[in-house]
Chain A
């Protein structure tokens, strides 16, 4: 089936328009990061690099970045383990309540962050847990599981069971089969799911405000606090620009891997 010339032109135009819509605010932040004054009126009056200097000299930024990194890595690791286990169970076995598992996995991301945040806050208080980096990790892991689960289950569905059977017919144990046959097949799905889970954790605000101990500050919490200050705002713009530019690397890697994978599958 080929679309008519008119339809193709309209679709191309729509794509360009949506991409411009998506990138307009990011470009605006990029420009404001170089704003000489703290006055937010457009167009900006002059250029300056002072906010980048401030961003690098403030210790709060580096600390918040490290906290976000630790919380994100911890949450991603928990999500990788739980999501992979659940996806294998659902895809490879038939059991009572199988449909409910996929609903259950989806629930933490489908319920508003404020609900998850309040619920976990109530539970941590009741359980007498000390609020800190661990509670942030657990809070983030709840909604990261579904990301890994979805990526892995889509892949497991496509990997033929016969490959594993062949491996075991040839004398490999279940562990060897997993290590040499199954794992290589789902590796890129784990990476793609893990990256997206990390991104979600890195950017989470609402659940974090309910699970943080006050001592820990993640990047979004730091941003929230600094946006309310006149001199904080341009520094945040500078930090945001740096983070956006840095994040091109993992997204690009994930895409290259996924692209190589789907090219090989064809």
Chain B
């Protein structure tokens, strides 16, 4: 019997062994690229944008005045129109989020706990597939469905009813439609992670189905619902295409888009953009508190 050969000590081997004893250095190597991209490039860009918010655009010469000024923020804070639009946007974001959660939970529950593995696989594909269908195509499809001579009015006519047409209800409907998969998938994953033994334990201790659902399943699935809500909420908060296509009401995204695209007033647009940034940072901090980050 021969002795086990000791692997030859090549330079790369020695380098790897040297690195193995230095976990801090490994961490630095792992984090260097992602942190450069996220902190320097992404946060740096955001900072640059927010810097714009403190500049002003001369209304007559259209020249950028790079002196520090709070004028844009004062304009926004003292304007009734902007306050109404901000509240309307945040309200819509909450409404869409709650609707998605209420509609999405039963589906996710059925998928995770009742469907056979075969059916479950099919349902996951069925929910994922629309994410591949173009966002624009879906919005335009709703535009066609909701129009006067559209599918909805055609279907409702025999009942003597009329569809909502274009407006806030249409915006709510289309947003709910668009973001629903982003809610269903995290809840499904969250429900699937709940060990069956916990439910058996609840049953053994006398908990009926309703009680087990309220006291075991719901609290354990809650972080997943919050995780899904991050998507539904943030996607609604900044979208300007859907409101423009199925409504004439203004949302935050529309006014930012108007300032940057039509008026070319980047400083004011940047100041307006700080509203969704602030709202989202608060939302994310609360979501993290509620354990959503472990459930995404």
Contacts and interface: CB of A to CB of B under 8 A. Distances in A.
Interface of A: 1-4, 7-8, 10-12, 14-15, 18-19, 21-26, 28-29, 32, 40-43, 78, 81-83, 85-86, 88-89, 93, 95, 99, 101-115, 118-120, 122-123, 126, 138, 141-142, 145, 150, 168, 171, 173-175, 196, 199, 202-203, 205-206, 219-220, 223-224, 227, 233, 236-237, 240, 243-244, 247-248, 250-252, 254-256, 258-259, 263
Query: Lowest 3 CB-CB distances: which A-B pairs, in order?
Result: A112-B238, A247-B132, A123-B45
A56 to B, nearest CB: 18
Interface stretch (B67-75, B78-86, B104-112, B218-226): B104-112
Contacts of B237: 112
Contacts of B147: 40
B126 A19 contact: yes
A42 B110 CA distance: 34
A243 to B, nearest CB: 7
Given A8-B114, A95-B27, A205-B135, A251 B129 contact: yes
Given A115-B238, A202-B132, 14 more contacts: A1-B200, A22-B130, A22-B180, A42-B150, A82-B37, A101-B31, A106-B293, A110-B230, A111-B234, A111-B276, A123-B44, A141-B37, A205-B241, A255-B121
B149 A42 contact: yes
Contacts of B256: 114-115, 118
A99 B284 CA distance: 12
A14 B111 CA distance: 11
B20 A174 contact: yes
Given A93-B23, A110-B230, A28 B238 contact: no
Given A11-B114, A29-B141, A174 B177 contact: no
B147 to A, nearest CB: 7
B34 interface: yes
A86 B149 contact: no
Contacts of A203: 131-132, 134-135
Given A18-B107, A122-B49, A205-B241, A86 B31 contact: yes
A1 B201 CA distance: 9
Residue among B38, B114, B126 with the most chain A CB within 10 A? B38
Contacts of B131: 196, 199, 203
Interface string B251-289: 011001100100000100110010011001001100010
A169 to B, nearest CB: 12
Given A88-B30, A126-B48, A236 B137 contact: yes
Contact of B130 (A26, A108, A171): A26
A126 B45 CA distance: 10
Contact of A11 (B110, B180, B209): B110
Contact of A40 (B19, B109, B144, B184): B144
Nearest to B207: A1
B140 interface: yes
Contacts of A101: 31, 34-35
B136 A12 contact: no
B33 A112 contact: no
Contacts of B280: 110-112
Contacts of A138: 41
Contacts of A255: 121, 124-125, 128
A193 B192 CA distance: 19
Interface string B128-167: 1111111111101110110101110010000000000000
Given A82-B34, A220-B135, A7 B16 contact: no
A244 B31 contact: no
A1 B203 contact: yes
A118 B134 contact: no
A1 B209 contact: yes
Contacts of A175: 12, 16
A118 B149 contact: no
Contact of A26 (B7, B133, B253, B296): B133
B111 A15 contact: yes
Nearest to B30: A89
Contacts of B284: 103, 106-107, 110
A139 B13 CA distance: 38
B117 interface: yes
B39 interface: yes
A120 to B, nearest CB: 5
B273 A115 contact: yes
A123 B106 contact: no
A251 B109 CA distance: 21
